[in-house]
Amino acid sequence: MAFNDFFAGEIATELLKQLLSISRKSCLCKSSADNLITSIEELLPIINEIKYSGVELSAIRQSQLDRFSETLRGGLELARKVLASGRWNVYKNLQLARKMERLEKQVSRFVSGPMQAHLLADVHHMRFETMERFDRLEGRLEQRLNSMKIGAGGWVEEAVKRMEVEEEASLGIFNGVGLDLGKSKVKKMIIGRDDLNVVGICGIGGSGKTTLANEICRDNQVRSYFNNRILFLTVSQSPDLQQLRARIWGFLTGNEAMGYTNNLFVPQGKLQCEWGSGPRTLVVLDDVWSLSALEQLIFRIPTYKTLVVSRFKFPTPVVNEVYNVELLREDESLSLFCHSAFGQKWIPPTANETLVKQIVHECKGLPLALKVIGASLRDQPEMYWASAKKRLLRGEPICESHENKLLERMAISVEYLNKKVKECFLDLGSFPEDKKIPLDVLINMWVEIHDIDEEEAFAILVELSDKNLLTLVKDPRVGDAYSSYYEICVTQHDVLRDLALHLSNQGDVNERKRLLMPRRDTELPREWERNTDQPFNAQIVSVHTGEMREMDWFRMEFPKAEVLILNFSSNEYFLPPFIDDMPKLRALIVINYGTNEAILENFSVLTNLANLRSLWLEKTWVPQLTNPTVHMKNLRKLSMVLCKVNNSFNPSVIDLPLIFPRLLELIIDHCHDLIKLPSSICEVNSLQNLSITNCHRLCELPADLGMLKKLQVLRLYACPELKMLPPRIGELIGLKYLDISQCFNLRCLPGEIVRLASLEKIDMRECSQIVSLPPRTALSNMKSLRRIICDDEVSWQWRYLEKTNPNLHVQVAEKCYSLDWLDG
């Protein structure tokens, strides 16, 4: 993509703002400004299509775009002169008006000429090829993936941004009479009625309940009324009620950190007390499924209000008043559908209007169905649309008593997916409802079981995102546009997860490709136990329970299982003995959603997994990695998140190259007891990625770190006790990305850093004690540097290099602090 592709869009956007001001203020130029506004509004989507598509234009077309960028740049200067011109300088204003008329004609000629048709043809051709054949992805996808790995944003980052823009646009359409009416009624219940402590929003799945609740939380009048004291919690079908009560109680008492650590001080039972005139507080409970759960989460305290969002209408004594979400009107439905299917609010002339309206009618005003089905039909031929219409017509009307029919309609959007893309969508049902799925976990799983590489996995991820079948969410920890994909996670609407489960749980239980527990339970499903006399041929097995002891498991055989996902909430967990009967297991994911780190028992069962390549441990005690008990000769990736690890890294007993001889990636995140890494890590010659983030007690790195000649990524984000980097860091000849951001006590960059000839990016934001850099002449030797992210105080020293290295960009980062990521 050419340099000017991006700037044409930026200039056009800025010019549009100036023209709107001219239209309001200048009488002489108003007509030209209005015509220019119309032309540029038509052109801007085309420029953005080029910007996000990655299409390489021919030399002739590129030169046309370059010339047009110059025209827009001149127009921007002209608009600024018009706005700066005094009202009484008639002669000058007449001259400017004539120039505005000439600019209008130039833009109009460009818009009405052949360029628009050529560019649109290129973009749609590119989309069609990407959807049809992912194996034709060009080399630039691999390049983007590599840049993503070294923290340069890239392809998935663009998808995240695109989804944010799409959501804003969809909300603009959805924010019509229906949403405005709902907001007005709910606001009246919340801030206009002191006699109502608990109010509700009720509607069927996909009707926009959560969208309405989020809009209430963003409303300025509501935020002002509660002085920004608003807590939004997702409850789900299998909630951890103790943890949720702790979160609410911590928020009410002003001790929010307590909600993330323990619940020892939370009053038991239904809390009702008189606190007098305490601060106004609003707690939103989204996706509530049972009355018993709701009653435990309601604290009846004066000035404290609860907004309950649910598919069900609860008794009046519990929820005092309820707003029933109204489905979209016909015109609103058509606008939302057209936005997803055509990228505009109306039916284009080339489309079959009757066919479009028939499909919209069958979506029955449900926003989620309109968005998903519309996206699935985008850029498809008319015969494809006709087939979809016939399938929709077979369904019954969607209403509260036939909510399962929504799944049948939504299934149409999945049936026409490429086979591998469909399989990846169905895999999403393996994860718990309303939980963020780490992107790293998902990509690893797809690579291991679908015989695809990471580039194709990312392509599939972006396609599912573009079709509204999942949501890419940027972790609030990041705060800028240049993060790696480790800070991006995936979420999914509960109706879409229900759809994945509905499609996966068909057929004989022993023959299903995915053996899944739809929600957390105290024990394994009885259906599984009844069929243990035959092997289970599932490729993915997902278990979601509370505490499990050895006696709670029963013997099961999984000759074809390649992925095992263990989700639980407890302080102790016995790993299932049937892991021994998973000879093909390639990826093991262990996630504890409880409050404290869980002790894992039977860890030695992993020793026999000769094919295990990826291990993800979250919120557990990692057992001591002693040589005789653990030997994972084929493990490629080890991730430990929110774990207790110091005991497992005892330098006197651990020999990492013996235990992990083929390890490529080691990720340690939020492991607060990690003080130092064992020196033997420097002998893991295969290591390419070492990521140690949010480890607040890490104070020292091994002196021989430079022995890791294959290391490409070194991330040391948010390790505030780290005071220096080892001098031998200069021997990391393959290092491409160094992240030392938020290492507040890091005092300097070692002079040896200038020897890193392959280094492309340094992220050193919020390293307040680093006030000087190595000599400029030495830094000039770092020819591969492409991006520096740093604080304003030190940026001027890096900017000197921009003069000698035209490919270098120095980015001054904004500071961002949030605890929202803990909700996942």
Tally of structural domains, the chain: 4
Domain-ending residue, one of 383, 399, 416: 416
pLDDT value of position 158: 53
Q: What mean pLDDT is predicted for residues 49-78?
A: 62
Q: Using alpha carbons only, what angle is made at residue 560 by residues 557 and 562, rounded to the nearest 5 degrees? A: 110
- The whole-angstrom separation of Cα 322 and Cα 48 is 42
Domain-ending residue, one of 416, 445, 476: 416
Q: What mean pLDDT is predicted for residues 207-229?
A: 87
For residues 605 and 687, which has the higher predicted lDDT (pLDDT)?
A: 687
Q: What mean pLDDT is predicted for residues 684-707?
A: 93
Question: Do residues 356 and 268 share a domain?
Answer: no
411: domain CATH number is 1.10.8
Instruction: Give strand pairing partners of 544.
Output: 567
318: domain CATH number is 3.40.50.300
For residues 389 and 767, which has the higher predicted lDDT (pLDDT)?
A: 767
Question: Do residues 62 and 89 share a domain?
Answer: yes
pLDDT value of position 16: 67
- The whole-angstrom separation of Cα 181 and Cα 208 is 13
Contact call for residues 802 and 778 (beta carbons, < 8 A) = no
Position 285 in a domain? yes
* pLDDT of residue 48 exceeding 60: no
- With bands split at pLDDT 50, 70 and 90, how would you rate the model's confidence at 787? very high
Look at residue 179 and give its three-state secondary structure: helix
Find the range with the poorest average confidence among 2-11, 354-363, 520-529.
2-11
Position 476 in a domain? no
Look at residue 813 and give its three-state secondary structure: coil
* pLDDT of residue 480 exceeding 80: no
Position 411 in a domain? yes
Question: Do residues 299 and 337 share a domain?
Answer: no
Question: Do residues 90 and 126 share a domain?
Answer: yes
Structure tokens of 558?
């999984």
In order, the DSSP letters of 719-753 are -TT-----GGGGG-TT--EEE-TT-TT-----GGG
Position 710 in a domain? yes
The 10s digit of each residue's pLDDT in 284-334 is 998 888 888 888 888 877 788 999 998 888 888 888 888 888 777 888 888
Find the range with the poorest average confidence among 103-112, 494-503, 753-762.
103-112
- The whole-angstrom separation of Cα 32 and Cα 75 is 12
The 10s digit of each residue's pLDDT in 14-42 is 666 777 777 666 666 777 777 777 776 66
Question: Do residues 285 and 379 share a domain?
Answer: no
Q: Which residue has the tokens 């606008």?
A: 335
Position 496 in a domain? no
Proportion of the chain above pLDDT 70, given as a percent: 73
Question: Do residues 333 and 319 share a domain?
Answer: no
Q: What mean pLDDT is predicted for residues 518-523?
A: 86
Question: Do residues 112 and 10 share a domain?
Answer: yes
Question: Do residues 11 and 73 share a domain?
Answer: yes
- With bands split at pLDDT 50, 70 and 90, how would you rate the model's confidence at 9? low
DSSP 462: H
709: domain CATH number is 3.80.10.10
Instruction: Give strand pairing partners of 196.
Output: none
- The whole-angstrom separation of Cα 495 and Cα 492 is 8
C-alpha Rg value of the chain to the nearest Å? 29
- With bands split at pLDDT 50, 70 and 90, how would you rate the model's confidence at 239? confident
pLDDT value of position 463: 85
- With bands split at pLDDT 50, 70 and 90, how would you rate the model's confidence at 526? very high
* pLDDT of residue 8 exceeding 80: no
Proportion of the chain above pLDDT 90, given as a percent: 27
DSSP 459: H
- With bands split at pLDDT 50, 70 and 90, how would you rate the model's confidence at 209? confident
- The whole-angstrom separation of Cα 189 and Cα 199 is 7
Contact call for residues 750 and 727 (beta carbons, < 8 A) = yes
Domain of residue 343: give its range.
328-416
Find the range with the poorest average confidence among 27-41, 43-57, 146-160, 616-630.
146-160
Question: Do residues 291 and 368 share a domain?
Answer: no
pLDDT value of position 318: 87
Structure tokens of 206?
């996909």
For residues 297 and 265, which has the higher predicted lDDT (pLDDT)?
A: 297
- With bands split at pLDDT 50, 70 and 90, how would you rate the model's confidence at 129? very low
| pTM confidence score | 0.64
pLDDT value of position 130: 37
pLDDT value of position 62: 62
Q: What mean pLDDT is predicted for residues 697-721?
A: 93
Taking all residues of the chain, what is their mean pLDDT, rounded to a whole number? 78
Question: Do residues 242 and 361 share a domain?
Answer: no
Measured on CA atoms in the order 282, 283, 286, 288, is the torsion positive or negative? Answer: negative
- Give the strand order in the sheet containing 620-621: 572-574, 598-601, 620-621
- The whole-angstrom separation of Cα 138 and Cα 153 is 19
Position 357 in a domain? yes
- With bands split at pLDDT 50, 70 and 90, how would you rate the model's confidence at 509? very high
Position 295 in a domain? yes
Question: Do residues 670 and 819 share a domain?
Answer: yes
Find the range with the poorest average confidence among 260-274, 308-322, 679-693.
260-274
For residues 11 and 124, which has the higher predicted lDDT (pLDDT)?
A: 11
In 3D, which of 396, 406, 428 has the Cα closest to residue 207?
A: 406
pLDDT value of position 535: 96
Report residue 270: phi and psi, to 5°. Answer: -80, 120
Q: What mean pLDDT is predicted for residues 379-387?
A: 80
Q: What is the per-residue burial (b if ≥16 Cβ within 10 Å, else e) of 184-216?
A: ebbbebbbeeeeebbbbbbbbbbbbbbbbbbbb
Q: What mean pLDDT is predicted for residues 525-535?
A: 94
- The whole-angstrom separation of Cα 35 and Cα 355 is 34
Question: Do residues 310 and 353 share a domain?
Answer: no
- The whole-angstrom separation of Cα 371 and Cα 387 is 18
pLDDT value of position 127: 43
Position 425 in a domain? no
CA 60 vs CA 7, 111, 140: distances in Å:
18, 16, 22
Structure tokens of 87?
């009202």
In 3D, which of 279, 122, 60, 300 has the Cα closest to residue 195?
A: 300
- The whole-angstrom separation of Cα 556 and Cα 577 is 9
The 10s digit of each residue's pLDDT in 550-576 is 999 999 999 999 999 999 999 999 999
pLDDT value of position 623: 82
* pLDDT of residue 190 exceeding 50: yes
Report residue 648: phi and psi, to 5°. Answer: -75, -20
- The whole-angstrom separation of Cα 822 and Cα 802 is 38
Domain-ending residue, one of 370, 390, 416: 416
The 10s digit of each residue's pLDDT in 788-819 is 999 888 888 888 888 888 889 998 877 554 44
Contact call for residues 61 and 115 (beta carbons, < 8 A) = yes
- With bands split at pLDDT 50, 70 and 90, how would you rate the model's confidence at 763? very high
In 3D, which of 257, 246, 317 has the Cα closest to residue 283?
A: 246
